[in-house]
A and B are shown apart, each in its own frame.
Chain A
Amino acid sequence: DAKTTQPPSMDCAEGRAANLPCNHSTISGNEYVYWYRQIHSQGPQYIIHGLKNNETNEMASLIITEDRKSSTLILPHATLRDTAVYYCIVRASGNTPLVFGKGTRLSVIA
């Protein structure tokens, strides 16, 4: 079962930052937070993951609260091509397959 809670949908104006929240209040100490997104008619795409420190890559930034019970994925300058379903997943080890919930449908509006 998915261990995360995400809003079902969000809107964001093109060029603005998109901040996607995720609650994972039951996260264990050895569980990582992963983010994937799925653009219509494509397979999910890996975005970023982290354990407790904030992470940044060319796609996004991941901010994890100090108690690790929630996180926020930040797309700094959203474009229309960022319209997708965004999945937040917690996962302990590499032996555990990813378990997807329903995610957040982000609509970037011109």
Chain B
Amino acid sequence: DTGVSQDPRHKITKRGQNVTFRCDPISEHNRLYWYRQTLGQGPEFLTYFQNEAQLEKSRLLSDRFSAERPKGSFSTLEIQRTEQGDSAMYLCASSLRASGTGAFVSYGYTFGSGTRLTVV
């Protein structure tokens, strides 16, 4: 397993078009996160899944955004009717939340290299 993979690395789209990004997490990781990052800012949390369940969504995730993780493995993030303000780096991360010695242990996140979206 070579880490978290994101596809595509770059996407240029016209305003109003729909785009979909894919994230393949580390295979044994049960949690998957989506973040968005604009120039000069830290990553902003969008949503996360534990297995196939979407457990939390940020207020940043407008109705035009939808994320899925249908089989608890890879995830997709779709943006409908893209706007210029959607231009950003979209980052995916995965982590393992596992039980150990009777308590849940949460490990650090492993991030992918991101998908850079440019809306023109």
Contacts and interface: CB of A to CB of B under 8 A. Distances in A.
Given A99-B45, A100-B44, A102-B40, A46 B113 contact: no
Interface string B27-58: 00000010100001111110010000001100
A98 B45 contact: yes
Interface stretch (A18-26, A37-45, A66-74, A76-84): A37-45
A87 B40 CA distance: 13
25 contacts: A42-B111, A43-B4, A43-B93, A43-B111, A43-B112, A43-B114, A44-B93, A44-B109, A44-B111, A45-B111, A46-B108, A93-B106, A94-B97, A94-B105, A94-B106, A97-B33, A98-B45, A98-B109, A99-B45, A100-B42, A100-B44, A102-B40, A102-B41, A102-B42, A103-B42
B106 A46 contact: no
Contacts of B92: 43
Contacts of A42: 111, 113-114
Contacts, number: 51
- Decide if the interface of chain B is mainly helix, strand, loop or mixed: strand
Interface residues of B, number: 26
Contact of A97 (B56, B105, B108, B110): B56
A100 B40 contact: no
B113 A97 contact: no
Nearest to A89: B42
Interface of B: 4, 33, 35, 40-45, 48, 55-56, 91-93, 97, 104-106, 108-114
A41 B111 contact: no
A65 B42 CA distance: 25
Contacts of B33: 97-98
Contacts of B108: 34, 36, 46, 49
Contacts of A41: 113
Nearest to B41: A102
Contacts of A87: 42
Given A49-B108, A98-B33, A102-B42, 5 more contacts: A45-B111, A46-B108, A46-B109, A97-B56, A102-B40
